[in-house]
Chains A and B, each alone.
Chain A
Amino acid sequence: MTARSKIVVIAVAALALFSLRVVPLSAQAPVPAPSQPAKPPITVTVASAPDVSGAIPRLPDGHPNFQGLWHNDVGVEALRKAGLGDIHSPGTPLPFPYYPETDKIREYRDLHDPYHDPEAHCHVPGVPRIIEQPSSIMPFRIIQDEQYVTILFEYVHDLRIIPEDGSSHPKNYWAWDGDSRGHWEGDTFVVDVANFNGRSWLDMDGNFVDENEHVVERFTMTGPNSISYSATVEDPTVFTRPWTMHLNLKRNPLTDQIVYYDCHEGERDVDHYTRSEGNAASKHE
Chain B
Amino acid sequence: MRQVSGGLLAIVAILIAAPAAPAHHSFGAEFDFNKPVTLHGTCVKWEMINPHSYLTVDVKNDDGTLTEWSVQAGAPSFLYRNGWRKDSVKPGDELIITGYGAKDGSHNAFAQRVQLPDGRRVLGGAIIGATPPPPPPDSSAPAAPKSNP
Contacts and interface: CB of A to CB of B under 8 A. Distances in A.
B51 interface: yes
Nearest to B21: A86
A137 B30 contact: no
Interface in A1-17: 1-2, 4-6, 8-9, 11-13, 15-16
Contacts of A34: none
Interface stretch (B59-67, B87-95, B102-110, B114-122): B102-110
B34 A5 contact: yes
Interface string B51-94: 11010000000000000001010011110110000000000000
B23 interface: yes
B77 A260 contact: yes
Nearest to B15: A15
Given A119-B25, A250-B131, A15 B14 contact: yes
A45 to B, nearest CB: 14
A260 B76 contact: yes
Contacts of B70: 268
B29 A1 contact: yes
B10 interface: yes
Contacts of A185: none
Interface in B112-142: 126-132
B19 A269 contact: no
* Residue of A13, A155, A156, A257 contacting most chain B CB atoms (<10 Å): A257
Interface in A103-149: 114-115, 117, 119-120, 122, 133-134, 136-138
Q: Point out which of B29, B103, B126 has the most chain A C-beta atoms below 10 A from its C-beta.
A: B29
Nearest to A113: B29
Interface in B18-52: 18-19, 21-30, 32-34, 47, 49-52
Nearest to B147: A257
Contacts of A136: 128-130
Interface stretch (A57-65, A67-75, A172-180, A214-222): A67-75
A273 interface: yes
Contacts of B132: 137
Contacts, number: 172
A186 B40 CA distance: 58
Contacts of A283: 104
A165 interface: no
B144 interface: yes
Nearest to A78: B129
A247 to B, nearest CB: 10
B49 A119 contact: no
A76 B129 CA distance: 6
A269 B25 contact: yes
Task: From B25, B34, B76, B80, name the one whose CB has the most chain A CB atoms within 10 angstroms.
Answer: B25
Contacts of B104: 272, 274, 282-284
28 contacts: A5-B32, A8-B10, A11-B14, A12-B18, A16-B18, A74-B129, A76-B18, A76-B128, A85-B21, A86-B27, A117-B26, A122-B24, A133-B128, A136-B130, A155-B24, A204-B29, A250-B131, A257-B147, A257-B149, A259-B77, A259-B81, A259-B149, A260-B50, A260-B76, A268-B72, A269-B25, A270-B25, A284-B104
Given A75-B129, A119-B25, 4 more contacts: A8-B33, A263-B50, A269-B72, A282-B104
Interface of A: 1-2, 4-6, 8-9, 11-13, 15-16, 18, 71, 73-76, 78-79, 85-87, 114-115, 117, 119-120, 122, 133-134, 136-138, 154-156, 204, 250, 255-257, 259-270, 272-274, 277, 282-284
